[in-house]
Structure 1
Amino acid sequence: MQFPDDDNGQMLAAMAEAGIDLTQSLEVDFFLVFDDQRDAESALEALSQTDIQGELELNFEEESTKWEVIVCLQMVPEYAALVAKEIELNTFAKEFDGISDGWGVMQNQADDGEFADEDDDHECTEHCHH
């Protein structure tokens, strides 16, 4: 498979090389990052009032001292769909003084250290600050 030469394309290529079937629906986590807890909580509340079909989670990242809203969506990890969702969520996050900080897929696979979910950490793009 050919992927565009950008962060999203590189992530998809790495996933394909790791043996992940990119034609199947996966849980894709999109990360929205906020400096202020109130902004993150407001964004989370606003997202919960939309028709978004996914799970929402709020985390505090001690290392970066930032608040993170994780939007977990069940979707086929297709390049154009991922880019469109990132743009949509980034536009949304900006309304609450936040930004989109990439996406990742947690995947359990035998003999696969790169994408293994051994300690419940997510895999994310180079833009993530985790």
Structure 2
Amino acid sequence: MQFPDDDNGKMLAAMAESGIDLSKALDVDFFLVFEDQRDAESAAEELAQSELEGEMELHLNDELGKWELIVCINMVPEYDAIVSQELELNTFAAEFGGATDGWGVMQHQEGDDEFADDEHQCSDNCQH
């Protein structure tokens, strides 16, 4: 699989090399950063009112010293779709004095058995 030679392409190539199936929908986290807490909260409120399908989490990123709004969108991680979503979120964040700061996926996704507890004995009450 070939990807463009930019940050998004390199991220997708690394994901493919690690065995992640890029043809299936994954929870993709987009990171929006803001200097001011009120700006970040306003952006989160506005995004919650929008038609965006996804989950959000707002917190102070101590490492960056900035407010970080994580927008999790379930999507097939295709290059053009990632770039388009990132540009749309960057334009949105800029309205509140923020900007996007990359994206990523958690290694453990739905149906991923890599982190299963080998000692676990299933019972009638198991939910997995």
TM normalised by structure 2 equals: 0.84
What secondary structure does 2:4 align onto? coil
Deviations 1:45-98 (A, max 9, x none): 000000110001101111211000000000000000000000000000000000
Aligned AA for 1:17? Answer: E
Show the counterpart of 1:81. 81
Distance 2:94 2:53 in 1: 21
Distance 2:14 2:62 in 1: 28
- Larger Cα Rg: Structure 1 or Structure 2? 2
Of residues 102-111 and 65-74 in structure 1, the stretch that sits farther from structure 2 once superposed is 102-111
Show the counterpart of 2:44. 44
Structure 1 stretches lacking a partner, 5+ long: 112-130
Show the counterpart of 1:14. 14
What secondary structure does 1:21 align onto? coil
Of residues 57-66 and 23-32 in structure 1, the stretch that sits farther from structure 2 once superposed is 57-66
Aligned AA for 2:104? Answer: G
Identity %: 67
Show the counterpart of 1:53. 53
Show the counterpart of 1:96. 96
Two-structure CA RMSD over aligned residues (Å): 1.2
- The runs of at least 4 aligned residues of structure 1 exceeding 6 Å deviation read none
Show the counterpart of 2:3. 3
